Amino acid sequence: MTENTTPVTPSRELTDFADLVSLCKRRGFIFPSSEIYGGIGSCWDYGPLGVELKLNIKNSWWRAMTDRDDIEGLDASILMHPRTWEASGHVEGFVDPLVDCKTCKGRFRADKLEHANCGKKSSLRPGQHGECQLTEPRQFNLMFKTFMGPLEESSSVVYLRPETAQGIFVNFENVQQTARQKIPFGIAQIGKAFRNEITPGNFIFRTREFEQMEMQYFVKPGTDMEWFEKWKEVRVNWHLGNGLRRSKLRFHPHGPTELAHYARAAFDVEYEFPIGWQEIEGIHNRSDFDLRRHQEFSGKKCEYFDEAAKEKYLPFVIETSVGCDRALLAVLCDAYRVEGERTVLKLHPKLAPYKVAVFPLMKKPELLELTDKVYADMKANFRATYDEGGTIGKRYRRQDEIGTPFCITVDYDGLTDQTVTVRERDGMTQERVAIGNLTRYIQDKMAAWKSE
């Protein structure tokens, strides 16, 4: 029997990041970094639930990539030979135009002034206030520099990688040969990247330290645009598979002035955040730009030999590059709802930090014994949590707010008929389920889940 004990109430979506920032802090998803020292601009720490959610997103990506026979995994180091970044074009070309305001001491991207606020009057753009004194734009390289070894001199400068992709390019031959892959094939990697952004902000949307999930797919020149189209389709389906609503996703093709220095064609997958449509993933046709440049700068051949056709060539590369933190932000924004008294995260069950919460109706020894058994069964199959504090209604609200899709309550009837109540997060329906069937019941419900 399924019953809905709560009247249907109108649902409100997220309209302001501030509400999400507050939930994330309150419930242990995301904290400001070094908070006891007053925080540090644009750095965030993932708490117990945030780290679970992030791992689930990474797993969803990693499985989608490496379960395929034509994609291999890699974990390259963050620090690379400095010549890497000369070859990649980042030393010369990874720059943003920067302007300072001598009056308010604000620092802005010269090409994004229409999205920035004047430090004197926030309703105006920088330069619009009578007292604004903007400097001439100067080029600012976004790579973080540090020194390798004890001497702080120019010969020991190394960079924190601004994208994970270069670790893949320099390992192209290592992976191709050891994994005995034939073109077309891809290399996938998840890892930290660093960019000294001029204007970070909007919570974890733009930060200076973030994680990327990148895949470079090496193809025969001439087949590149065909693969580019295929990967667009595959990648948007991945976001849909994480529960994002189709109406909130769109493609944005790059015009000639938007293309990165390495790209011959590019599409952004955009999500409609409370701040508007923004990129969550970039899909690029990088041609043979990177392998050609590494060949030139290192003096080592990066060509592929096609045994069957007896021909040598530099492969073209189709890149899919998604920010893990940005994908997570989109997932949280999409899941966030306020329905009457409750705030609920309608996360895809596969991404939810806990799949199941188990409660005893009351803290009575006769109920706790059976509850412990149910909890142990659930933990053997799912990531589960236990809660015995406060009323059942309060416990539901707590789980709603962290996105737990199923709450199981053990009550007195269960002692005689070995059943429990399973309450489902999204519709708030309740059903009596035999304890012996619980695992199967939850697995089936999770598999059938659809976003609204």
**Smallest distance, Å, CB 271 to ligand GAP?**
10
Please choose, out of 92-100, 151-159, 203-211, 412-420, the segment that lies near ligand GAP by the rule CB under 6 A.
203-211
Q: Which is nearer to ligand GAP, 267 or 304 (CB)?
A: 267
Q: What is the DSSP string of 266-295?
A: EEEEEEEETTEEEEEEEEEEEETHHHHHHH
224 is a contact residue toward ligand GAP (CB under 6 A): no
326 is a contact residue toward ligand GAP (CB under 6 A): yes
Please choose, out of 67-75, 103-111, 279-287, 375-383, the segment that lies near ligand GAP by the rule CB under 6 A.
279-287
- How far CA 297 is from CA of 85, 292, 326, 357, 376, in Å, comes to 10, 9, 33, 56, 58
Q: Which is nearer to ligand GAP, 197 or 431 (CB)?
A: 197
325 is a contact residue toward ligand GAP (CB under 6 A): yes
* Cis peptide leading into residue 256 (ω within 30°): no
321 is a contact residue toward ligand GAP (CB under 6 A): yes
Contact characters 146-165, ligand GAP, x per CB under 6 A: -----------------x-x
239 is a contact residue toward ligand GAP (CB under 6 A): no
- Exactly one of 173, 197, 272, 401 binds ligand GAP (CB under 6 A); that residue is 197
Q: Which is nearer to ligand GAP, 224 or 325 (CB)?
A: 325
- How far CA 282 is from CA of 54, 122, 153, 212, 317, in Å, comes to 19, 31, 36, 11, 13
**Smallest distance, Å, CB 289 to ligand GAP?**
12
Closest residue to ligand GAP using C-beta atoms: 323
282 is a contact residue toward ligand GAP (CB under 6 A): yes
Tokens 């601009």 locate to 41
Question: What is the C-alpha separation between 85 and 160, in angstroms, rounded?
Answer: 10
403 is a contact residue toward ligand GAP (CB under 6 A): no
**Smallest distance, Å, CB 175 to ligand GAP?**
17
Please choose, out of 181-189, 202-210, 379-387, 401-409, the segment that lies near ligand GAP by the rule CB under 6 A.
202-210
Which is nearest to 208 in space by CA: 29, 94, 40? 40
Three-point CA angle 196, 202, 203, nearest 5°: 90
**Smallest distance, Å, CB 254 to ligand GAP?**
10
281 is a contact residue toward ligand GAP (CB under 6 A): yes
- Exactly one of 27, 109, 206, 239 binds ligand GAP (CB under 6 A); that residue is 206
**Smallest distance, Å, CB 210 to ligand GAP?**
4
**Smallest distance, Å, CB 285 to ligand GAP?**
12
Q: What is the DSSP string of 129-175?
A: STT--BPPPEEEE---EEESSS--SGGGEEEB-S-SHHHHHHTHHHH
Give me the half-sphere count of Cα atoms (radius 13 Å) on the Cβ side of residue 24.
27
Which is nearest to 207 in space by CA: 193, 225, 223, 224? 193
212 is a contact residue toward ligand GAP (CB under 6 A): yes
**Smallest distance, Å, CB 286 to ligand GAP?**
8
Q: Which is nearer to ligand GAP, 281 or 411 (CB)?
A: 281
Tokens 């659930």 locate to 378
For 88-116, what is the HEC assignment? Answer: CCHHHHCEEEEEEECCCCCEEEHHHHHHC
Q: Which is nearer to ligand GAP, 227 or 375 (CB)?
A: 227
Q: Look at residue 257 and give its three-state secondary structure.
A: coil
Question: What is the C-alpha separation between 348 and 239, in angstroms, rounded?
Answer: 11
Count of residues for the chain? 452
**Smallest distance, Å, CB 282 to ligand GAP?**
3
- Exactly one of 72, 214, 224, 334 binds ligand GAP (CB under 6 A); that residue is 214
**Token pair recorded at residue 406:** 């199923």
Please choose, out of 107-115, 315-323, 357-365, 427-435, the segment that lies near ligand GAP by the rule CB under 6 A.
315-323
Please choose, out of 27-35, 251-259, 319-327, 388-396, the segment that lies near ligand GAP by the rule CB under 6 A.
319-327
101 is a contact residue toward ligand GAP (CB under 6 A): no
Q: What is the DSSP string of 181-243?
A: --SSEEEEEEEEEE---SS-BTTTTB-SEEEEEEEEEEE-TTSHHHHHHHHHHHHHHHHHHTT
Question: What is the C-alpha separation between 225 and 318, in angstroms, rounded?
Answer: 9
Binding site for ligand GAP (CB under 6 A): 163, 165, 195, 197, 206-207, 210, 212, 214, 279-282, 319, 321-323, 325-326
